[in-house]
Structures are given as structure tokens and as C-alpha cells.
Amino acid sequence: MDRLFRIVVLCWLVIWGGSVWAGDYSKHPEFVKFIDEMVEKHGFERAELETLIGKAKKKQSILDAISRPAERTKTWEEYRPMFVNKTRIGRGVTFWKNNEETLKRAEAEYGVPAKYIVSIIGVETMYGKQGGGYRVIDALSTLAFDYPKRPLFRRELTSFLIMCRDYKLDPLTIRGSYAGAMGFGQFIPSSYLSYAVDFDGDDSKDIWANPVDAIGSVANYIQKHGWVRNGLITSRARVSGDAYQSIANESLEPTKTIKELVGYGVTPATDASLPDQEKAALFKYQGRLGAEFWLGFNNFYAITRYNHSRLYAMSVIQLGDEIERKRNSKDKKES
């Protein structure tokens, strides 16, 4: 009985201890330290910030969702149809048509093809239709205080609060993903501060409701992360022997020259004229018909800076290519 009592008391303490800040982060053990830092380093008003963070809610669904992202749990065969499908292709054609002049201007200014700007927005939010249902203040507070990778999300919570203060946004009404990503292109707060642009000249960087600013911001982000105008993206690859296995999916960054790749039994399947010193990374995808091998070049790597996943980057590329193909075939039929 005494042992049972101790177990019951222990369980009660765990539940009670967790619930102390389940609905009020002002009682979280690390809250005071965070507030001190925001006041001392970033000039926030203590009382105002205490009231704001006190309104943030811990969400278990956020902790559950972030522990099983599709990029880590699905094969290419499972992942690709989630994004490269008739619905996203069709809606991508419509989004392109509705924003044609803006996309043309973004491509001219940043060098990123319109089709990939469209496909990034399509993969991220179904062209603005699925921007996320969580209050960003809840998502980032939950992850900043109750998730193992707290430093990353504490930085994002800091950026979010700075963003809202500097751009006069209401932190309690902005909604986004379970990871705190926002708007058409799902920018995290630090990305908003660094890469969001006012692409229509109205003195606002509105990535939530304004596709013009969203398009310019996505293009700016990709260009700033190394996209080279008319540069190489991907090429199908052939493999032979066993040496290639040691470098397949080794790195997202293109670190091996074509000449070095040949030494591993890897050759480009679609472009035999690539210079020996061109750098690439080898990727293996488990597709519906078996293993596929691809080379990813500099511009592929630039897309992975948006989401650090080879599955994500390939889906963006293939969706963009399919949208362009569908759009061109539509134009031919109408002409």
C-alpha cells in the first residue's frame, strides 16, 4: 500500500508539475531567463512580454507532429505522390496564370525559374490554401521550452517577437505550421527577417495574404542561398560496381567532381558532356519501379537550403517541371 501510495503521489506530481505551465508559460522554469535575455539584449518591455508569453499555450499535438516529419519517415515512393500529383499540378498552372507578371519579374530579378517558385509555394502550402492552423506564438513557445532542440526554437521565438514588434504585427493572431513557419512560402521568423521582401512597393512584407510579396520573398531566399541563373540542377545517373554505395546520400552538398564520381562507378546518364570538374552529389531514391540514382548540382543544393531534404528538393523540381509541361500543353491547345 505504501509503495502504491508513493507511485500515485509521484504520478500526481509529474502531472501537476507539467500542467503548471501547460496553459501558462509564465510559470515555466526557463521563462524568467528568456524574459531577462529579451529585455537585456533586445530592448523589450518586461511586463508587456510577460503578459504576452503568459498567453501562449503548450500544445502536445505540436510535439507529436515535429517528431515524425514526412521527410524522415517516408520513402520516395510514398513521398512523391503527396506533392507531385494532379491537384498540385493543376492548381500550380492556375497560380502561375493568376500571377504571371509577378513571376516573370521575380525570375528576371533573381534568376530563379518561375516554375520552381510556383512549385515551392505549391509544396509548402498548396498555393496559400494550407498555411497552418497553429498560433505561431503557441508553436514556438512549445518548442522553445518543451522540446529537446530548444536553442533552435528559442532563437526562432526571439526572431518572431522581434518581427512582430518591428513590423507592428499582432503576435497572438499570426498562424502557421507546427514548427512556426508562416505564409505562402512557410518562412520561419528568422527567414522573414532576413529574406522577406516588399515586392509590390506598398511598404509591407506581407507573405500571408499577398502572393506578390510571397513570390518575391521565395525567389530572394533561393537566390541568396546560392541559386545560379541557368545553372545545373539534376541529372539521372548510372552506377556500376559497389563503390558508389559509400557516397550515395552522403551529403546534400555537391562535393565530388564528375571525374571523382566516375572513380566510384557513377556516370551522368542524361548529359555526357558535363565538365570533369563540375561538382555533384549522388542521391539514391527508392521509387515505385525500384532504385533511382540522381546527381544533384549547385542549384539542387540551393533548394535544399529551403528544406534540408533530398526528397523535398526533388519533389519541388519534379512538380515544377510537371506544372510547366501542363501549362505549355494548355497554351498549345488554346492557340
For residue 2, what pLDDT is reported? 41
Name the H helices within the chain. 2-20, 31-42, 46-54, 60-66, 70-73, 76-83, 86-98, 100-110, 114-125, 136-146, 150-166, 189-195, 211-224, 258-263, 298-304, 310-334
How confident is the model over 115-122, as a mean pLDDT? 99
Residue that the C-alpha cell 498560433 belongs to: 135
pLDDT at 154: 96
67 confidence band (pLDDT: 50, 70, 90): confident
Pairing, β 134-135 against β 279-287: unpaired
Among 118, 124, 131, CA closest to 91: 118
Q: What is the mean pLDDT of residues 308-327?
A: 98
* Among 180, 94, 177, residue whose Cα is nearest residue 137: 180
Written as one letter, the residue type at 54 is G
The CA distance from 177 to 171, in Å, is 14
Residue 242 has pLDDT above 90, yes or no: yes
Encode pLDDT of 138-188 as tens digits. Answer: 999 999 999 987 899 999 999 999 999 999 999 999 999 999 999 999 999
Q: Which of 9, 45, 33 is nearest to 151 (CA)?
A: 33
3-state class (DSSP) for residue 182? strand
Q: What is the largest CA-CA distance in the chain?
A: 85
Active site residue 37: no
**How big is the chain by its Cα radius of gyration, in Å?**
23
Predicted TM-score (pTM) of this structure = 0.90
* Closest by Cα among 104, 311, 315, 69 to 181: 69
- List 176's β-bridge partners, or say none: 134
**Euclidean distance between CA atoms 329 and 327, whole angstroms:** 6
Kindly state the percentage of the chain with pLDDT values over 90.
83
CA distance 283 to 248: 5
Beta bridge pairs of residue 134:
176
Catalytic residue from among 107, 124, 156, 324: 124
Q: What's the confidence (pLDDT) of residue 17?
A: 39
Taking residues 53-72, report their average pLDDT: 88
Using DSSP's 3-state secondary structure scheme, residue 107 falls into helix
Which SS3 state, helix, strand or coil, does residue 246 take? Answer: helix
d(C-alpha 173, C-alpha 188), whole Å: 16
How confident is the model over 224-233, as pLDDT tens digits? 999 999 999 9
Above 50 in pLDDT, residue 6?
A: no
Q: Are 232 and 267 in contact (CB under 8 A)?
A: no
Instruction: List the chain domain ranges.
Output: 25-53, 234-296
In the prediction, which pLDDT does 24 show? 66
Q: At what angle do helices 114-125 and 86-98 cross, to 10 degrees?
A: 120
Compute, in degrees rounded to 10, the torsion defined by CA atoms 264, 265, 271, 272.
Answer: 100
